[in-house]
Amino acid sequence: MTQTHATERKVSALDLAAFAAPAAPLLALGLPTILFLPQYFIRDLGIEAGAAIFVIARILDVFIDPAIGGMQDRTESKWGRRRFWLAVSCPVLMFFVWWAFMGLNSASGLIAATIVVLLLFSSFASMMIAHLGWAGELIPTYHGRTRTLGIVQLVSLIGQVGVLALAAYVQTRPGATEADVVAAMGWFILIGLPITTAIAIFVVPERQTPPQAHLGVVESLRAVWRNTFARRVLLVDLLFGFAQGIAGTLFVFYFQFVLGFQTTSNALLFVYFVSGLLGVPLWIWVGRRWGKHRALQAAFVYTAITTAMIVLMPAGNFALVAVGMAIAGLAQGGGILLTRALMADVVDADELQTGARRSGLYFGLMLTTSKIAIVSGPLALVVLQLIGFDAGLGGANSSTMLFALGAVFIGGPALFSLAAAWLLRDYPLDEKAQEELQAAIEARHAANSENTLGPVTK
């Protein structure tokens, strides 16, 4: 039995559940920052540039996220590397969640709101990078990473579904305002973060990484560029993000204006997310049976086909459309978990090349591509507006404009998904190649240290 297989056997189902726990509040935070907070800043706080604040923050994250990842990779502490940053980042993120969701008011002003959002995004990135970096190292085998990130994806979808359900419940209460909805989501995250983070850092041991080679900024970027696997996976993630960004931004417009679901579009979105949750075990199984890159290709093709089938959904028929959304949503979780699992293997190729384990840097870059891709949604909306689409008119837009809305909402994600699937053809870093990389890495560690894996930090 190889050492990596022995390591996988030591991680129990309880360890995996405890490790994945922080993903619930972390990913629950992602939805409000896209769907609720920008509108809340504009409507309730009177900050006219509310949407621009979030766009600027995402642009700056292009530089901040990789820097945070690189800093985490260079950290050495008795608490380990990833656990240390989870523990440090959690209270900071909690403070800025409280400030953004409940601490601002109409007198706060643009500068205060901008500072809060920038620091909210940075502390969120710090926790996400630490958690994803640890996920790639917890069970350092080809299928072990799929299993780990699959559980993380399941838990994250539970958090997203939970915060959506809470928002829907608060909205139904008499006299509830947008501020009440935002505050409720804030409390959901504030209560969940410290509990789940404590469970992860006190229950799950982190492997101590052997001494690492420290690379300068320029040398690090050159190594990333030379890593052909990294370029390929990051481009796939970018295309997948384009598909998600367009679909997420235009979803409500299409389902309200074209299909006529004025009051039930959010319920259909809820069905879609629940289906994504239920579909995660399916994609874990497909990844183990076919290999991760082939399973990811299948998920992208499935997404393209089910997206194209939206044109067949009958207007006003909620039951039938809900079934269609449940079918379409099955691939939603698979695309995310399998792309991240591929990136975890890419880190092995980089470590063999550079001698440094830089999970933080690579997952920081992946967060960057995701944030860049989210901008595709607002850009698609701007293009529609330039050719004459008016969201204020709703379903009263001309038939030509409604057709254009459907073409962008359906055609864009379908084409980007197919392009991502095409990029994965003949992807060489399969299970056999990853095992060879891991064996070479372990041989290097054995040559440099009497204790190959080192003791766990507990």
Amino acid 212: pLDDT: 54
Amino acid 6: pLDDT: 37
Per-run averaged pLDDT (10 residues), the chain, 458 residues: 43 90 92 78 76 79 84 82 93 96 84 91 93 88 88 90 86 81 93 96 80 57 78 93 88 90 83 89 92 95 96 93 94 88 88 80 85 81 86 86 94 96 92 86 71 46
Amino acid 242: pLDDT: 93
The 3-state secondary structure of the chain, one letter per residue: CCHHHHHHHHCCHHHHHHHHCCHHHHHHHHHHHHHCHHHHHHHCCCCCCHHHHHHHHHHHHHHHHHHHHHHHHCCCCCCCCHHHHHHHHHHHHHHHHHHHHHHCCCCCHHHHHHHHHHHHHHHHHHHHHHHHHHHHHHCCCHHHHHHHHHHHHHHHHHHHHHHHHHHHHHHHCCCCCHHHHHHHHHHHHHHHHHHHHHHHHHHCCEECCCCCCCCCHHHHHHHHHHCHHHHHHHHHHHHHHHHHHHHHHHHHHHHHHHCCCCCCHHHHHHHHHHHHHHHHHHHHHHHHHHCHHHHHHHHHHHHHHHHHHHHHCCCCCHHHHHHHHHHHHCCHHHHHHHHHHHHHHHHHHHHHHHCCCCHHHHHHHHHHHHHHHHCHHHHHHHHHHHCCCCHHHHHHCCHHHHHHHHHHHHHHHHHHHHHHHHHCCCCCCCHHHHHHHHHHHHHHHHHHCCCCCCCEEC
Look-up of token digits 């994609």: 283
Reference 401, options 385, 380, 382; nearest CA is 385
The whole-angstrom separation of Cα 407 and Cα 264 is: 22
36-72, pLDDT tens digit by residue?
A: 787 788 777 887 766 778 878 878 887 888 888 888 8
Q: Which residues contact 381 (CB under 8 A, 6 or more apart)?
A: 249, 250, 253, 391
Considering only the top CATH level, what class is 225-429?
mainly alpha
Q: What are phi and psi of 457, to 5 degrees?
A: -95, 120
Report yes or no on whether pTM surpasses 0.85: no
Fold match, 19-209 / 225-429: yes
Q: What are phi and psi of 206, to 5 degrees?
A: -110, 130
The 3-state secondary structure of 350-410, one letter per residue: HHHHHCCCCHHHHHHHHHHHHHHHHCHHHHHHHHHHHCCCCHHHHHHCCHHHHHHHHHHHH
Q: Which value, to the nearest 10 degrees, does the dihedral of the CA atoms of residues 36, 112, 58, 358 take?
A: -120
Amino acid 210: pLDDT: 56
Retrieve residue 212's tokens: 């690492």
Retrieve residue 375's tokens: 């901008």
What's the topology of domain 19-209?
A: Growth Hormone; Chain: A; (1.20.1250)
Retrieve residue 236's tokens: 């796939």
All structural domains of the chain with their residue ranges: 19-209, 225-429
